[in-house]
Chain A
């Protein structure tokens, strides 16, 4: 009876010990570097493999520099160089150079971004994905409203009204305005979107111009010390470009957004997995000294 009790005690102890060990391994911050060596490993330098592939690349890179040395001698030299490089890289890791050197940090961050992005870019885009993207982002593929117009600037409302009447009777705005000594604004006679019109007319006149229909002549518009007349020759409304016409643009836009999304997703995942601690006291202190 006692023997059974002692045995069960031993089993319990062993189980608790094992459980503790598992907890220690699971809770440890140290990553266990399970030996993973490629099949073409030639030599392990502190468990880091130097491979035949690396030697081949080094051979290609060394090229003509070692042309006069025998193949075996050259390979020995290159291998020694690869081993030395590996030792220096390991030392750099130990010293935290990768984290501390701003140039290397930038290269590392860029490399991580390229890895994430290239994965998403490698995925093919199906026709249905492209159509769905086009349907859901029609604003991107719209051609904005464009207006072809002319504008004359007058000193008083009366002259503007006289000119307006002449235009309505069939005279051109340019001719009618010049006969009264008014000035034409230097606007190109071609369809212009809102942002381009603003440069010539300013925001308020542009907003008014966009409401005029084709061949409409505005009422005299007073802005500051001047009076304006606008004549619209063509008002092309906002139009959605057909998919066939913007297929390439749609594909490029979709790829750009996929790239951005995949990076955002990866960053969100990394943040979720990471242990991030803030020094709130110091942050508050810095914020207060900043203000």
Chain B
């Protein structure tokens, strides 16, 4: 009787597991962007990245201006195609490690970040150079604080160990 009850319990848990797996499979194979048509700000998704309505409209306006006539359906398809291609190239460059391997991109990204930190600081502290320097230092300190830094081939100095 006891064995039969154990078997029933096992069967029940096995059924639940199968149901869970089936549900998992359904979730895994289901389209992650089914709701794309509900979004009124995105014209297309390329992998995980959205091509915004504003970006598309701006590209269309530029094209139309250059062409000096209103755009037709072929033009619109072409523009969307070009935006998708640009996005794919951007994603490829990121995957290929261009952010770290390409000096120009690295410098430009760092500069953009530093400019943005500085702009925020100016908005808060005005154009006080000392305050702005401190704000940047504070930002970096915060990043260091939350980072995992692991030394491999070289022993950290006292200052580094203290991070």
Contacts and interface: CB of A to CB of B under 8 A. Distances in A.
Interface string A27-63: 1110000000100111111111000100000000000
Interface residue tally on B, bucketed by range: 35 or more
A43 B150 CA distance: 6
Interface string A84-115: 11011111110001110101110111011101
A132 interface: no
B44 A107 contact: no
Contact of A13 (B14, B90, B102, B113): B14
Nearest to A290: B71
B109 A104 contact: yes
B44 A274 contact: no
A275 B84 CA distance: 11
B153 A107 contact: no
A283 B80 contact: yes
Contacts of A109: 86, 89-90, 93
Interface in A12-37: 12-13, 16-17, 19-20, 23-24, 26-29, 37
Nearest to A1: B3
A267 interface: yes
Given A12-B14, A44-B150, A103-B108, A275 B47 contact: yes
A277 B32 CA distance: 10
Interface residues of A, number: 72
Contacts, number: 216
B90 A27 contact: no
B134 interface: no
Contacts of B76: 283, 286-287, 290
A87 B147 contact: yes
A108 B89 contact: yes
B93 A27 contact: no
Nearest to B18: A16
A290 B71 CA distance: 8
Contacts of B45: 275-277
A276 B46 contact: yes
Nearest to A103: B108
B149 interface: yes
Given A20-B24, A108-B93, A275-B45, A84 B29 contact: no
A46 B153 CA distance: 16
A42 B109 contact: no
Contact of A88 (B60, B108, B140): B140
B62 interface: no
B93 A20 contact: no
Contact of B43 (A23, A89, A105, A282): A282
B113 A279 contact: no
B37 A111 contact: no
Contacts of B28: 23-24, 26-28
Contacts of A6: 6-7, 10
Interface of B: 3, 6-7, 10-11, 13-14, 17-18, 20-21, 24-25, 28-29, 31-33, 36-37, 39-40, 42-49, 53, 56-57, 60, 70-71, 73, 76, 80, 84-86, 88-94, 96, 98-100, 102, 104-106, 108-110, 112-114, 140, 143-144, 147-154, 156-157, 159-160
27 contacts: A2-B3, A6-B7, A6-B10, A20-B21, A44-B152, A45-B148, A76-B159, A80-B159, A87-B147, A88-B113, A91-B113, A97-B109, A103-B108, A104-B108, A104-B109, A108-B93, A108-B94, A109-B93, A111-B105, A275-B45, A278-B43, A279-B42, A280-B37, A281-B37, A282-B39, A290-B60, A290-B76
Given A29-B32, A37-B152, 19 more contacts: A6-B6, A17-B17, A19-B21, A43-B149, A46-B147, A47-B148, A76-B159, A85-B110, A97-B113, A104-B108, A104-B112, A105-B90, A108-B90, A108-B105, A275-B46, A278-B36, A278-B43, A279-B42, A281-B37
A-B pairs, top 4 by smallest CB distance, nearest first, are A27-B28, A108-B93, A112-B93, A87-B143
Interface of A: 2, 5-6, 9, 12-13, 16-17, 19-20, 23-24, 26-29, 37, 40-48, 52, 76, 79-80, 83-85, 87-93, 97-99, 101, 103-105, 107-109, 111-113, 115, 266-267, 270-271, 274-283, 286-287, 290-291
